[in-house]
Chain A
Amino acid sequence: MTTRAERLLTYGILALFTVISLTPVVGILSSAFGDRATTDAGFSWPDALHWGNFAEAWTRGHFATYLGNSLLVVAAVVTVTTVLSVLAAYAFGVMRFPGSTVLFYLFVLGLTLPQEAVVVPLYFDLRYWGLTDTYWALILPQTAQSLAFGVFWLRTYFRNSSRAVIEAARIDGATSWTVLWRVLVPMGRPALSTMVVIVFMWTWNEFLLALVMVSDEAHRTVPLGLAFFQGQHSSDTALLAAASVLIALPVVVVYIALQRRFIEGMLSGATKE
């Protein structure tokens, strides 16, 4: 039996955690809508909604260009990662061949490998190939990093997919290629969408790689744009907050719509066989 006091205490603790989680978020929203004339960085309710801050941040911070770059990089990384992961994970999940374990662990290695372990030579390699300050310098390394998760995540799906369905398709004379694209991929839409949202979020939020690979403004992605924006307008709290909101918004919207997929995907990285 739970007492009334216990219930009150529990909801009280949950409310406290909610307030702690949301305070910085509400703070940045209130600054973003605040009056630019006030220089105080603190927490003050805006007297009116100053939508102008967003327009100002958008034009002054060149965020239209940065958003375009980010969208292009994200679209490329997500597409290539999805196709390559599906192919590789299919082989790891349903076929038996020599060396499969070693090769699979090679991919899993990428889940815990810090970017700092590869970024230095990667920069010099890409510069040597003339690829720094191009979209390729952002797309190719991020695809490689996302493959670790994609292969790991989808292999679990293929492994758990119904043997009976695969066999039935085989007996009907389907090749391994048709089984994959006609049967398993359409059935695996939940697993695939989890992978897509996670890779989308990681790529959208990626900072270190963009900082190292891109020095010209034309190829900046939004997180890099925000960092430079902070350098130039560090005292302009309202503009900085508005720019932050613009960057966080796309991911947050997708997250609220698909929170189960995000949580499931992000917590899977450390689960063991």
Chain B
Amino acid sequence: MRARQAVGDLAARYRRPPGAPRAVAYLYILPALAVYALFLLFPLGQTVWLSLLHWDGLSAASWAGLENYRDLLTDPALRAPFGHALVLLLFYAGLPVVLGLLLAAVLTRFRVRGMTFFRTVFFLPQVLAMVVVGVTWRSILAPDGLLNDLLRAVGADSLTRSWLGDPTWALPSVGVVGTWVMTGLCVVLFLAGVQRIPRELYEAARVDGAGAVREFRTVTLPGLRGETAVALTLTIVAGLRNFDLIYITTSGGPGNATSVPAYEVYRRAFEINSAGSAAAMGVGLTVLIFTLTVVVARLVEGRKS
């Protein structure tokens, strides 16, 4: 008995992670933590502090308390960007996930050849710099750009317009660019997921006489629950961090039709010298991102049980 315990102790000692004194772990973490704390955590704390002040970036700051946050909730000019961001999420997250699921559903029926090629092409927009994407789409959506050329070619001249200069159409136009960027990511994610669903489930569904629609609802959709959560999280985060695209294509215009929190933080801090209000906007954006990612995670877990 004792001998066995001794052997067990010995085995436990060797099963222990390497590194003689445990304190050595802190030494390994220290350099990364120092850089991370100094250039990310510390400024994050400062943003929260700054959001409680009125400050123009030059003269002495004055205490604002929660005023910046109150303005965020009551001032229409500050509320509008959040509204725009939610509309854009339909294009950045909603549409790509739906399109991705539909495509994945079609592709469950048999093995497609050339999958590597399709995957590489669909995912391509993800690796292009958003600045390049913005410049490209700005020329496509220009008055004499590709989109209007196509519309004229099919005789729909009445539909042509300056897509990014039109107060009604600018926001959906920017949204479509987001759909173009994000759909490939969702498709690739769902295609990988579909391959992991056991074939027997599909066979069983077919034996039961399930059509394509019921097969999708009872097998594909539940099988892709995890992937759906990942897709929603990635697209929501990307959709709310869309500064580059807005800056390049519309700069928030026309008027403030396409201003979003990410852009508004920059504009307030560095163009109209309202650092406190910019910081409050930054905190608001962060809270929105964390809330939505937690909601997505909860929705997925909740349905599982």
Taking a contact as CB atoms under 8 Å apart, the answer to whether B230 and A271 are in contact is yes
Asked if A7 and B187 make an inter-chain contact with CB atoms under 8 angstroms apart, the answer reads no
The smallest beta-carbon distance between A122 and chain B, in angstroms, is 4
Q: Which residues of A contact B23 (CB under 8 A)?
A: 97
Question: Cα distance A125–B37 when bound, in Å?
Answer: 14
Asked if A74 lies at the interface with its beta carbon under 8 angstroms from chain B, I say no
The contact of A263 among B123, B131, B148, by CB within 8 Å, is B123
- In the complex, chain A residues whose CB is within 8 Å of the CB of B17: 94-96, 166
Q: Residues of A contacting B122 with CB < 8 Å?
A: 17-18, 21
CB distance from B147 to the nearest CB of A (A): 9
Report whether over half of chain A's contact residues are helix, strand or loop; otherwise say mixed: helix
Please give, as numbers and ranges, the residues of chain B lying within 8 Å of A255 by CB-CB distance.
120, 124, 127
A97-B26, A247-B131, A270-B233 given as contacts; is B137 within 8 A of A122 (CB)? no
Q: Is the CB of A176 within 8 A of B24?
A: yes
Tell me which of A39, A40, A91, A240 contacts B135 (CB under 8 A): A240
Cβ-closest chain A residue relative to B244: A207
Which chain B residues lie closer than 8 Å to A226 at the CB level? 129, 131-132, 135
Q: Does A28 contact B (CB under 8 A)?
A: yes
> From residue 226 to 248 of chain A, which have CB atoms closer than 8 A to chain B?
226-227, 230, 237, 240-241, 244, 247-248
Residues of A within 8 A of B38 (CB): 140, 144
Which B residue sits closest to A223, measured CB to CB? B131
Contacts of A21 in B (CB 8 A): 121-122, 124-125, 180, 184
Contact of B123 among A97, A117, A175, A259 (CB under 8 A): A259
Say if the beta carbon of B210 comes within 8 Å of chain A. no
Contacts A117-B282, A227-B131 given; does A24 touch B41 at CB 8 Å: no
With the chains together, A73 CA to B31 CA distance in Å?
A: 19
Using a CB–CB cutoff of 8 Å, the interface residues on chain B facing chain A are: 14-20, 22-26, 28-29, 31-33, 35-36, 38-44, 46-47, 50, 57, 103, 106-107, 109-110, 112, 116, 118-133, 135-140, 142, 144-146, 148-149, 180, 183-185, 187-189, 192, 229-230, 233-234, 237, 240-241, 243-244, 247-248, 261-262, 265-266, 269-270, 275, 278-279, 281-283, 285-286, 289-290, 293, 297
> Given A18-B118, A223-B244, list of 9 further CB < 8 A pairs?
A21-B125, A92-B29, A95-B24, A118-B40, A122-B39, A240-B135, A241-B139, A252-B124, A266-B126
A–B complex contacts, Cβ < 8 Å, 12 sampled: A17-B187, A18-B118, A91-B25, A94-B17, A110-B40, A118-B43, A120-B278, A121-B46, A140-B35, A175-B19, A226-B131, A255-B124
4 A-B pairs closest in CB distance: A176-B19, A121-B46, A144-B39, A205-B129
